Structure 1
Amino acid sequence: MDTSLTRTQVFQRDGFATTGKLLSPEEVETYREIYDKLLSGEIEAGDKRSDLGSHVPRREGVSENITQIMWPSALHPPLRELPLHSRALAVARELIGDDAMLDFDMMIHKAPRSGVPTPWHQDAAYWVDLPDTRAVSIWVALDEATVDNGCMWYIRGSHKEPLRPHRPTSDGKNIECDCSEDEPGATAVPLSPGEAVAHAGQTLHYSRGNTTDGTRRAYILNYRPAEMIRLEREQGADHGLEKNERKVRNRNAEDSES
């Protein structure tokens, strides 16, 4: 990062900016424990668990190439009381404005030697059209994130250009667009555990497959203006939140009756 510029200026110029440490080593360990319970199924994810790499054949015995779990904080509400949500919100408000609120959160996990890249895309290509396009995703590393295990790559300045044409992946479950690491402005962003990088909704990004013997756990929190979240919800775009909260309420009710 250019130290002569503020984090907000870098974000506005490049479409992404590192945040520094958001979690201490002890806090990282707490998040890892919860994360692994969601991965193992000890905390049920139901239909909010999917495979971002489902267009690539899986190795024998592997349930997902790239595990995605939407709304972990709805599946496990104590996450909302841990420090990351408030710290990430403060960063989001610094970057896109004081009206920023949490839109959704998710986990994206790349298991050892899974080797499947996350396709190039822009998050906004997944979303409904809104009159105010301000949005920021804060990608938090819970493990050392390296080029070889799947740290984030961005195309600097791509958030200032029109959205590129996106197409469904070969199985039709996700989307991708044409881009590569050779494109001008392509930048890898390695991170240490507890560090994060923030990117705009229009910023082109991807990550390589994990070709190492270690795991790559990432927790992502997405923010946008509160009024835009209200408009999203009016259009039925809640990123699966209501289903998750209904599932949690039903499970809690069953537990109280047993």
Structure 2
Amino acid sequence: MTTQPRNSRRLAFHTDGYTPTGLLLSPDEVKVYRAIYDRFLNGEIDAGDKRSDLGSAAGVPSGATENITQIMWPSALHPELLDLPLHQRALAVARELAGDDMVLDFDMLIDKAPHSNTPTPWHQDAAYWVDLPDTRAVSIWVALDPSTIDNGCMWYVRGSHGTPIRPHRPAGGGGGAIECDCSENEPGAAPVPLNPGEAAAHGGATLHYSRGNSTDGHRRAYILNYRSAAMIQLERDQGMDHGLSSNVRAVRNGGASG
């Protein structure tokens, strides 16, 4: 049900390092995903050690559990998600953009609660990952709420996927994320607002970030990450499963994406 022309999506992904995908979920389907998402947020679906604060460097938030709630592997914690349409539709987009050998590497939820006001720092996802001979990767960022500049829509730097991975450092003392030098003034930096059910896809080396949420509503996003089956096996052989089987901080094994 995607509406963005396929040829323009593929061209933008390879030229710019990111592309809007168009609509992946109908309004009724968005409601279904929001209901499940909220069960994760309120603890009805227990995420255990796969739940963390991507913005923990900002200190303990007032009246909230986390600054930026990140839950790794929602599809493993709640397998019913795999029977819903998003995984199949996102997989089709990933294969269109990067090749027919793309499969799901991991998925995650990232929520910015109302007035949490904590940005996700500029970074490249590849800075979190092990070195692999085939660097093809597609992250599909799906908006379940209106995603705006004020509540933390994604920003990307056009063409940054064609440059070396920048030096990254921990984002503040004891923080749950890493960051690199970049800003909204970087040449090519642009926000990508999305309506509920729409998505954007980016590569592993594409610079991206999002502002904090200064609005009265949540900014819920579902992120699905794809790479080739062969490279996933190499990852697993090196003990990297993005937090699926260990209690290592999920963000260190996964990679922040807004």
Instruction: Provide TM-score, normalisation by structure 1.
Output: 0.92
Letter in 2 for 1:206: Y
For 1:59 and 1:189, how far apart are their aligned partners in 2? Answer: 27
Letter in 2 for 1:187: A
The residue aligned with 1:231 is 234
Report deviation, 1:170. 1.6
For 2:42 and 2:82, how far apart are their aligned partners in 1? Answer: 20
For 2:7 and 2:186, how far apart are their aligned partners in 1? Answer: 24
| Selected match of 1:196 from 175, 199, 205 | 199
Report deviation, 1:26. 0.5
Letter in 1 for 2:52: S
Report deviation, 1:62. 1.8
Is 2:161 the counterpart of 1:154? no
The residue aligned with 1:9 is 11
Is 2:124 the counterpart of 1:122? yes
| Selected match of 1:206 from 205, 209, 220 | 209
Superposed, 1:25-174 pairs within 5 Å as 25-172=27-174, 173-174=176-177
For 1:226 and 1:171, how far apart are their aligned partners in 2? Answer: 36
RMSD: 1.5
Report deviation, 1:243. 4.6
1:20-60: per-residue Cα shift (whole Å, max 9, x none)? Answer: 00000000000000000000000000010000100002332
Instruction: Provide TM-score, normalisation by structure 2.
Output: 0.92
The residue aligned with 1:256 is none
The residue aligned with 1:252 is none
For 1:95 and 1:3, how far apart are their aligned partners in 2? Answer: 12
The residue aligned with 1:218 is 221
Report deviation, 1:63. 1.5
SS in 2 for 1:31: helix
Report deviation, 1:10. 0.6
Unpaired stretches in structure 2, ≥5 consecutive residues: 248-258
Unpaired stretches in structure 1, ≥5 consecutive residues: 245-258
Question: What is the total number of aligned residue pairs between the two structures?
Answer: 243
Report deviation, 1:241. 1.8
Report deviation, 1:6. 1.9
1:117-149: per-residue Cα shift (whole Å, max 9, x none)? Answer: 000000000000000000010000000000000
Is 2:202 the counterpart of 1:179? no
**C-alpha distance 4-37 of structure 1, shift in aligned 2 (>3 A):** closer
Letter in 2 for 1:118: T
SS in 2 for 1:80: helix
1:205-249: per-residue Cα shift (whole Å, max 9, x none)? Answer: 0000000111100000000000000000000000122359xxxxx
Larger radius of gyration: 1
Report deviation, 1:3. 7.6
